[in-house]
Structures are given as structure tokens and as C-alpha cells.
Structure 1
Amino acid sequence: MENIKQIFTAFMVLFAVIDIIGNIPIIIDLRKKVGHIQSEKASIIAGSIMILFLFLGQSLLSLIGIDVNSFAVAGAFILFFIALEMILGITLYKEEDSNAITASVFPLAFPLIAGPGSLTTLLSLRAEFEIQNIIIAIVLNVLLIYVVLKTSSKIERIIGPNGIKIIRKVFGVILLAIAVKLFAHNIKALV
């Protein structure tokens, strides 16, 4: 039961951070600019980046002298700002590039899906959850990302622009609460 709870929580955190539903307008715009997006390639590359960072991220941090709790606190700040963007409908930082040759990899797989927010979140989750549960959550998110990429036009027609805005705001509030919990849990270890 504990594993299912961890998988569900990790899945929801990653789902909120990746915000694939909220990114549907960006995906549709990218599809219009480049003509076609390779959903399989984008999903596999994004999933590979996340799993690789889950394993190597901590070693990389150790190499530069940062512990996981410090990174988790920093991650809580990033999640906080991403949540503010979602709730308030503002853009604090978003890099856009529409190179037709590599659109499925850049900017879609990285940094839109497997970006700073999701990578920071993975290490933050690693500080709290078992690694196999996080991997399952990543795989479930990648499957969902694939489905959304394949059906983004249909989803946009069904949900509509207002529905997408509502979903973004709801997940923004959830993400804000997660950021506060993550900060509170890891700041104790540092103090």
C-alpha cells in the first residue's frame, strides 16, 4: 500500500511539474510550425533523460559538493515559481525555439518535458521516495505524455482553451502545496 501511495504521489508531482496538459497550446503551435512531431521519439528521449538524471544527478551533485537536501530545498523554490506561473498565468521564464529538424527533441523532449523543473523534482523526490517507485511514476508519465502528444489536437477541441486554463490553475495549487511540503521536510535536515 505504501508503494502505491508513493507511486501515485510521485506521478502526480511529476505530472503537475511537466504540465503536459497545460503545454498543449505550445505543442499545437509547435506542430503548426514544423508540420509533424515524433511523439514516440519525444516521449522516449524525455523519459531517458529523467531516468538518467534520477541515477546520475546525485553523483553529479556530490561531485560539486551539494547534498540532496539542499538540492531539494532549491527544487522546492523552483516548484514554487512554476506553481505561481500556473496559478497566476504569468511567464517568469520560458525558452522557445522552433527548429523544424529537432523539434521532437528540442524544445519538446528537453526542456519542455524533461526540463529544469522535472529534473529538480526527481532529485527532490529521491530524497523522500524509493527509487523504483519514482521510476514507475516516470514511466507512467511518459506513457501519458505519449498519449497527449498523439492526441493533442483532439484534446484541445474537447477541453477547450478555458478547460486548459482551469486544469493549469488546479495543478498549480497542488504543485504549490507540494513545494511547501518539500521545503518544510528538507529544511529540517539542513537546520
Structure 2
Amino acid sequence: MNFNFKEIATAGMVLFAVIDILGSIPIILSLRNKVGHVQSEKASIVATCIMVAFLFVGESILSLIGIDVNSFAVAGAFIIFFLAIEMILGISLYKDDEPETASIVPIAFPLIAGAGTLTSILSLRAEYHVENIIVAIIINVIFVYIVLKSSARIERILGKNGLNIIRKVFGVILMAIAVKLFATNINELLTHGI
């Protein structure tokens, strides 16, 4: 076992910033108003299963279509970079339409385990040990579950400005991580040939 607190912390922060559950509170609240109840437990469990499954089979899927992890990590770095720009500037480059129901589909996927999250998981796999990424996923899902359960209270405590500040701070962190991810993996590609 290669448990490493630094790896868990970094992977955890990347996933926290990409999942951006605090930034999704307005969507969660409007879903709750529409349907009356958000299935927090179900959404959290399904999101965990999707993320862990992708961590293990994602690489096989890539090799099946002839893409190595480093190339995918470079592509992932671009996606993370654009997500960071969205968070820092408060703009929407690409966002799914607001879901209509609060079932597994809109919350577990794509709100929690969306394209950005899955790309980040594979990008992290190119750099960190699998067990550390799994611990980071579990920590994030626990946090997501707490936020889903108490979204109205969190919005009242932090207010719109508080949520915006948190988003911008994590946007900057995410951008720095995207640059590091790009630099590390582009080096690998150039060294071993594309």
C-alpha cells in the first residue's frame, strides 16, 4: 500500500475544485424546490461507484481506442484549465442545462461525476497511486453528501458572496494544478515520443 497524505490532499483538492459542489448549491436548491426532495444517499453512492469504476477501467477504455494516459492527462489539463477560468471569471463556457428532476441522473451524473471529474480522475492516475485517489474520492463524496443534506443552511451561512469567493479561490488552485498536470505529462510525451 502506498498511502501518502500529500497525494491524498492534492488529489482531494483537485476533485473538490472540479466537482465544485458548493458552486452547484443554487442548482441543488432549485431542484429541491421543483421536486421537494434530493436523494442524497443514492446520488453519493452512485457517484462514488462511477468514479471508482472509471479509475480502474478508464485506462483500458483508452488503450482500446489507442490513447495513452499521458495524452489523456494533457487533454484533461486543458479541461481543468477551462473549468478554472469559468470559476475565476464567473462565466459559463460549457454547462449542461439545469436538470428537471432530482434523481440519480442529474446529481450523481453529471453534477458530481461529470466529464470534468472523470477526466481529472484519469489525469490524476497518471501521477498518483490508485489507493490515494480512492481515499480522495471517498473524502469528497462524504463532503458532497453533507452539502446535499444541508445545502439550504450552507447558502444561508455563506451567502452568495461567500460562495463566489470560495469558487474563485478554488478556481486559482485548479488553474495551478492544470498547469502542473500539463507540464508533467507533456514532458513524458516529449521524452517518450508522441
Query: Normalized against structure 1, the TM-score is what?
Result: 0.96
Deviates more, 1:135-144 or 1:89-98: 89-98
Alignment of 1:25-104 (within 5 A): 25-100=26-101, 103-104=102-103
Is the 8 Å Cα contact of residues 21 and 148 (structure 1) preserved in structure 2?
A: yes
Q: Deviations over 1:56-108 (max 9, x none)?
A: 000000000000000000000000000000000000111124333xx231211
Unaligned runs of 5+ in 2: none
Question: Residue deviations 1:16-68, cap 9 Å, x none?
Answer: 10011111111111111121100000111111100000000000000000000
Deviations, residues 122-163 of structure 1 (Å, cap 9, x unaligned)? 001000100000000000101000000000000000000000
Structure 1 unaligned runs (5+)? none
Q: How many residues align?
A: 189
- Taking the aligned partners of 1:70 and 1:10, their CA distance within structure 2 comes to 19
Aligned twin of 2:186: 187
Distance (whole Å) between structure 1 residues aligned to residue 60 and residue 144 of structure 2: 28
Look up the equivalent residue of 2:13 and give its one-letter code: M
CA RMSD of aligned residues (A): 1.2
| CA deviation after TM superposition for structure 1 residue 11, in Å | 0.5
Q: What is the match of residue 156 of structure 1?
A: 155
Decide whether the 8 Å contact of 1:96 with 1:107 is kept in 2: no
Does the CA-based 8 Å contact 2:78-2:178 persist in structure 1? yes
